[in-house]
Amino acid sequence: MRMCLFGFGGWNTGFGWIGMVLNLVFTLVVILGVVFLVVWTVRRVSGPHLPAGSSGQGALSAKEIAQLRYARGEISREEYQQILSDLNH
H or E stretch including 62? Answer: helix 62-72
Residue 74: per-residue pLDDT:
92
Residue 48: per-residue pLDDT:
64
Residue 89: per-residue pLDDT:
79
Q: Give 55's contacts (C-beta < 8 A, 6+ positions apart).
A: 61
How big is the chain, counted in residues? Answer: 89
Could you list the mean pLDDT of each consecutive 10-residue stretch along the chain, which spans 89 residues?
52 72 94 96 77 61 91 93 90
Distance CA 28, CA 8 (A): 13
Domain assignments of the chain as residue spans, ordered by start: 1-47, 59-89
